[in-house]
Amino acid sequence: MGDSDSIVVRNVSKQFTLRYHRTLKQMAIALARKQDISEAFLALDDVSFTVQQGESIGLMGLNGSGKSTLLKLINGVMPPDSGEVLTRGRIAGLIATGAGFHPQLTGRDNVYLNAAIMGMSQREIDRKFDEIVEFADIGRFLDTPVGHYSSGMFSRLGFSVAVHTDSDIFLVDEVLAVGDRPFKKKCIKRMEEIRDEGRTLFYVSHAAGSVRKMCDRVLVLEKGILGFDGPVDEGIKYLHYDDDDTDEVEGELDETDDMDSELGADI
């Protein structure tokens, strides 16, 4: 790994198994009929690339292409089956809704828990706590157990902790940046600030407009294979994305209701 390398992914493959029958009875019947009960598939197939410190990478591809799997490997949530993933420095970001949250603890307690998992010290969390809460904008629900939160509220709080974590690499899956339009724009603005600070940004997105705005390089996954690695505009053309449909910051994200309506009957 070179002195300026931030992320090195070398000949990485990851395989998962799809199971068709969930109960023992269903499996027994399927075996008796000589039917397959599972199927292995490669989520990532011999993927290699290197990211320099301070680069802003847009990871694109159709649903099921392996983007989220790659993000989890870089974050260290799971190991590759073959090959290696090397990273330099502290990694922060949001790659799974509610990851690191304890459902029985309040939002306040989970800020401390989640921030500690990301490597923040008690003093650092104390110093940034008000900023984190203000950014998440969950108001009176801060002292409510997060088990009652919607997935949107999970993401707002988790994203807020992540963007206030001092890190060398920031990973984010756009589909988790949920909320109303002002919150999405606030997320994009904060990620621009992270990029401008010289940190490595690894950004999963379908939206051509936000990738053009945020990134200086695009990787495109196709059924687990790295099909393209190069300039942003060429990567978007490679995908044949219709810019008229993807130029908005929100891209394919569903428009969600405001905070109170997200809670529904949970609170």
Say whether pLDDT at 19 is over 80.
no
DSSP letter for each residue of 23-52:
SHHHHHHHHHTT---EEEEEEEEEEEEEEE
- Give the model's pLDDT for residue 54: 95
Domains and CATH numbers, the chain: 5-29+37-89+168-263 (3.40.50.300)
- Give the model's pLDDT for residue 48: 97
- Give the model's pLDDT for residue 217: 97
Q: What is the average pLDDT score of the chain?
A: 83
Categorize the per-residue pLDDT at 57 as very low, low, confident or very high, splitting at 50, 70 and 90: very high
Tokens 């598939």 label which residue? Answer: 41
- Give the model's pLDDT for residue 185: 82
Count H helices and E strands in the chain, helices first.
10, 9
pLDDT tens for 23-34 read 777 777 767 777
Say whether pLDDT at 62 is over 60.
yes
This prediction's pTM? 0.77
3-class SS letters over 182-199:
HHHHHHHHHHHHHHHCCC
pLDDT tens for 136-177 read 888 889 999 988 887 778 778 888 898 899 999 999 887 655
pLDDT tens for 95-143 read 765 566 888 999 999 999 989 988 899 999 999 999 999 998 888 899 9
- Give the model's pLDDT for residue 245: 45
- Give the model's pLDDT for residue 26: 74
Cα gap 177→159, rounded to integer Å: 7
- Give the model's pLDDT for residue 177: 54
Mean pLDDT in residue range 186-213:
90
Distance of CA 246 to the CA centre of its chain: 19
Residues 6+ apart with CB under 8 A from 187: 159, 163, 177, 179
Say whether pLDDT at 263 is over 50.
no
pLDDT tens for 235-253 read 999 988 655 444 444 444 4
Mean pLDDT in residue range 218-241:
93
Categorize the per-residue pLDDT at 259 as very low, low, confident or very high, splitting at 50, 70 and 90: very low
The tokens for 210 are 């936000």
Mean pLDDT in residue range 194-212:
91
- Give the model's pLDDT for residue 97: 55
The better pLDDT of the pair 187, 61 is held by: 61
- Give the model's pLDDT for residue 38: 59
Distance of CA 117 to the CA centre of its chain: 16
- Percent with pLDDT over 70 in the chain: 81
Say whether pLDDT at 260 is over 80.
no
